[in-house]
Amino acid sequence: MFDTIHFKKPLICPDCGAEQSSLQTKDFDCCMLHFKIGSVLSGSTVLTGIIKDTLWCDACYKAGKRPADSPVYLIIWHSLLAGVEQDLAKAEARLAAVDRLDLIAWLDEAQREAARWSRNYHKLFSDVSRWHEHLTRPPEPERIGADAERQRAFRRLFSLPDEILTAPDPLAAILAANKQASDDVED
């Protein structure tokens, strides 16, 4: 097993120029964890320093070439992943330059991400709950006159939108709508 480090901007294979957006590494706990800049590296035996790893290139591998021994330097600062560089001098400079503004930026990003996840799942949970209510609610008699308008307004407020209720597979429509909403937020 391994862990995956995701780069902020892709690294370039020095052999073929292919872009690499992540690195599978056995340097840490190997628990299929995902790390990015600012992540706490659980299982790192290095607390502050630089770990040398190797950039893997799928394109070179598929072309039958043995990927060149292309080093990737993981910059670790108080167990946090502070950066990824392909050049040792740049990695050393980055390690020396980490300061509390970096910490604040990572904290800010982590909190935004937590809020985004919480928002997404709150909405998904609410939609699925409303679908469950819709399935289990005994049918209401249709009102007439002014009451009918009030009944429709009430339904619009608390029911799922018609395009979900009338979809061939409402549950799939709920998942698709929530996936779309979360992709939009990430863009």
Distance CA 9, CA 106 (A): 16
The strand pairing partners of 35, in sequence order, are 5
Specify the amino acid at residue 170: P
**Residue nearer to Zn ion on the CB measure, 69 or 184:** 69
Least Å distance, CB 11 to Zn ion, is 11
Of the two residues 58 and 108, which places its CB atom closer to Zn ion in the complex?
Answer: 58
Stretch that binds Zn ion, among 17-25, 96-104, 111-119, 158-166 (CB under 5 A): 17-25
Return the number of the residue (13 or 80) whose C-beta is nearest Zn ion. Answer: 13
Query: Residue 32, Cα to own-chain centre: how many angstroms?
Result: 14
At its nearest, how many Å lie between Zn ion and the CB of residue 32?
Answer: 25
Please classify residue 174 by burial: count the beta carbons closer than 10 Å to its beta carbon, then call 0-12 exposed, 13-18 middle and 19+ buried: buried
Joined tokens for residue 156: 């619009």
CB of 1 to Zn ion, least distance (A): 24
Closer residue to Zn ion in complex, CB, 87/147: 87
Q: Residue 8: what are its φ and ψ, rounded to 5°?
A: -70, -50
Q: How far apart are CA 61 and CA 95, in angstroms?
A: 31
Site string for Zn ion, 47-86 (x = CB under 5 A): ----------x-xx--------------------------
Binding residue (CB under 5 A) for Zn ion from 5, 13, 72, 81 = 13
Q: Is 16 in the site for Zn ion (CB under 5 A)?
A: yes
Residues forming the site for Zn ion (CB under 5 A):
13, 15-16, 18, 57, 59-60
